[in-house]
Amino acid sequence: MNQQLAERLRFLRAFAANPRQVGAILPTSRQAVRDMLDLGDVPGARLVVELGAGTGSQTAEILARMAPDARLIALEIDPRLAQVLKERFDDPRLEVVVDSAENLEQHLGEEKADVLVCALPFTSLEPGLRRRILDAMPAVLAPHGVATVIQYSPFIQNELRRRFPSVRRRISPLNVPPAFLFACSLQADAGEATAV
């Protein structure tokens, strides 16, 4: 069985076991991953943090773009998916953390992320959990950093705007379903929200 098919099957199993937590039946497409990562400066980042890494569709592209001495901390709540990540990537720059993204600050200590990559299914998460994760995101972002978020609806846009002075939006039409991508910054002059 090729790697992509095996990845899809593992992802589908995780979805069947916990649909609201996984939030999608397929991993994010390569094109949507690329479109999403183009919104942040991954090659220039010292620390990248990924929320909801799944089977690693974004992890692979982040590692491919990252500098040789940069670090990636990937949080994944599902221990079986975290194990898939550990087996798939033999890369000393990657640390896989099996925990909920709401505990993000604990895992970063005093460090701040230059790029935050978030593929959590906000629409289907319990509201209290969703709020705690959204509150933690600006708290761990470096002043010049960018938080990139992928969703399958614009539902989360207002919540992001409440927390980040700048939220830009674009659509990745070739993903199934088409994906909404957000680039959130703590600097107001990084650009107003624009639909593309």
Residues in contact with ligand SAM by the rule CB under 6 A: 21-24, 27-28, 51-54, 57-58, 75-78, 81, 100-101, 119-121
* Closest CB 172 distance from ligand SAM, rounded Å: 12
CA distance 60 to 126: 28
Q: Identify which of residues 35 and 78 has a Cβ nearer to ligand SAM in the complex.
A: 78
Q: Quick one: three-class SS letters along 136-160? A: HHHHHEEEEEEEEEEECCHHHHHHH
Closest CA to 43 of 118, 146, 126, 171: 146
- Rounded CA-CA distance 156/164 in Å is 12
Sheet strands (E) in 24-162: 47-51, 71-75, 94-97, 113-118, 141-151
Which H/E stretch holds residue 172?
A: strand 166-172
Shortest spacing between CB 170 and ligand SAM, in angstroms: 16
Cβ of residue 173: shortest distance to ligand SAM, in angstroms? 17
Closer to ligand SAM at the Cβ: 40 or 121?
Answer: 121
Omega of the bond leading into 177 within 30 degrees of 0 (cis): yes
Residue number, 137 or 167, with CB nearest to ligand SAM: 137
- Between 100 and 166, CB nearer to ligand SAM: 100
- Which residues, 6 or more positions from 6, have their beta carbon under 8 angstroms from its beta carbon? none
Q: Which is nearer to ligand SAM, 133 or 167 (CB)?
A: 133
We find the least distance from the C-beta atom of residue 135 to ligand SAM, in angstroms, to be: 13
The order of strands in the sheet holding 166-172 is: 94-97, 71-75, 47-51, 113-118, 141-151, 179-185, 166-172
Smallest separation, CB 43 to ligand SAM (Å): 20
Least Å from the CB of residue 189 to ligand SAM? 30
Residue number, 60 or 186, with CB nearest to ligand SAM? 60
